[in-house]
Structure 1
Amino acid sequence: MRMALCASLLMVISSLLAGCGERSAARAAPEMIADGTWAGIPKTVREDFARGVNAANWFTHRGDPKLQAGWPDASDFAQMRQLGLSHVRVLLDPEWLSVNAAHPRFLDAGLQLAQDGRMLVILAMQPSSEFKQRMGKDDAAVEELSAIWTQLATTYAAVPVDRLVFEVLNEPEIEDIARAMRIQRRLIDAVRAVTPGRVVVVGGAHFSDVADLAALEPLDVRGVIYSFHFYEPHNFTHQGATWGWPMWMVLRDLPYPSSPEALAPVVPKLAEIAREHAAWYGQEQWNRAKLATFVEKAAAWSKQHRVPVWCSEFGVLREATPPASRRAWLTDTRSLFEEQGVAWTYFDWWGQFGLVTGAPGARVIDEDARAGLGLGPS
């Protein structure tokens, strides 16, 4: 992977994200920021972190024509604001950024669109799984990604700290927890050497779930937000997925909440290899109280260490999930976050988890997702 970028390819655009513009319409509830865990984070960042959405496939998987059709335009950010969302998390593939001199300019233009739409941007680094595995063993790979962050931090050094946040590594996928944190600390150092006041985000060592968060010892660095992802239980949220565990492809129509009685009419209709897993999902009896044990664990970790936590991804695949169940899971999960003072970012704006369907300029809001997320009128 050719990760090094010439500074000349990343021209500093003085107007990019400059100025704060109109402040966010959506504000964090006072209880979200009153317990001291968000100390050291600028007030406007705290406020804008309350509710947001991912734009996951905008600067990743750029070669997929099916995803290109969904890239957002100015109307998308206006619609996000109307719904009450105040930030957008943008995943970035560093290999794509580095292989063509024009690609940094595409990123500049995209971030400018989000700024013009008055959204706080969280720029999250998403290398391939293969590159992450290299970083888990090879310090040279870490330095390659560090160089990318140095260039990005330099390019966007003039951007106000309350308009752009850097998430140094999405889902590290590294077994060695201590090494995963050393890597993220190295990436933070690369950013802070250029922009000392920039807010940064780190996540747990593997796929950044609640257990990964709870296993962390916070870094001795101020201005850090700790993220986790929430897709519990995966057999429900990922039913019908065409990636990951092959069993997800044959699971469908699983209801939420789950119980043996609720699954009884569903199990016989599934492929035989999936029936045992679906029946077990019913026996586990997933409901709001069970989800609460996970959210409360994340909130307790935050309070124990007096550092901010943020759920940067949560959602349910649309196509194979009963709509009422998807709405119920989103309602329970989102309300638990808000009760526990956890900032959240829905996954995703468009696509298989999407809050919207259709093309830019003609988006249709998924009413089950909108209602579950407690957002404004469609």
Structure 2
Amino acid sequence: MVDMDAVGGAATAGLVAGAIEKPTGQAGERHHLCSDCGAEVSGRFCANCGQPAHVHRSLLHLGEELLHGVMHFDGRVWRTLPLLLFRPGRLTREWVHGRRTRYVSPLAMFLFTVFVMFMGLSYMPGTPDSSVTGQQISAGAELARRSSEVALAEQALERASPAERPAAEARVKAARARLEEVSKLVGNVRVATPDTVIEKVPQDGDWKAELAENARTGGLNLNLGNEKLEKKLIKKLQNPELAIYKLQQSFYKFSFLLVPISIPFVALLFLWKRGFTLYDHGVFVLYSLTFMSMLIMAVVIAMRLGDVTSALAWTVAPFVVPAHMYFQLKGAYGLSWFSAAWRTWFLLWFCAFALSLFAMAILYLGTA
């Protein structure tokens, strides 16, 4: 099932990314006066306020703007993507040095790809014994309804006269049979007593049910060093499906936190080198995170294609990550192979630490 919140987030991110991008100077027809400020126009855009000289009023152009805003579908994408994939160092260096009109900005690329990544993760295949939350809710409602039928049939049996008793017993038996059938469909629920009390019980291989059971019975020790946070998490883990969904929502909503968390670690690698600013490191981080988001999407697609493709993707991906970091460092900062190699090694460790900080922030924000 597709996560519609993720789809909406991806569309919103695309529109925001389109809004922060500047025109490339290749749209519209030439007019002599700007319809906004009235200044004389000698090109396709007003030199005074920047508005396009041609102001359209057709539905076709409105659709074109929407497509461009959401998909960011223009020539700069096809100039940016190949460099991001195969020559990330050159792309980072050119943007930092001011050659920007031909490429999509790192912030716009990051916003769009990271939200599309989370939309793609909603297609990620689950384990055979898992079920969609909506199906679980529906099955639970059906189970409650059948349990009520059993209770009503038993009450009718208690009030039945001797002549009506055989028919009442048959109704109770039929209601219990229907209840048992629904219980098998639900999988990890059962009726504890003949009345309507229902409890969840873990089954072999159902890690979510086991997690919920441990959270309810006090058998879950998180040891996070924050007692208040641990209590909140344990309470939320009593319903793992809802907890995981909320964490996913928090993860993509606050994914921008990866940028300020990562920049100081990159800056540490160049403390004694002059000529590099935090802006340069920010551009490096944004393009790098964009590539990682695209890599995750590629792995998800490979998992959908089949076992062989999935295994190949999981085998290749761990080598692609350090290789891309190495070439981006080497090209963006003009490093020798040795300088780029040892910085790549430390950057991998810094990434693991930054992801840990980000995960802690998400846990805190997701349980706030």
TM-score interval, normalised by the smaller of the two chains = under 0.3
Q: Looking at secondary structure, tell me which structure has more strand per residue.
A: 1
Normalization by structure 2: what TM-score? 0.21
The structure with the largest alpha-carbon Rg is 2
Structure with bigger helix share is: 2
TM-score normalised to structure 1 length: 0.20
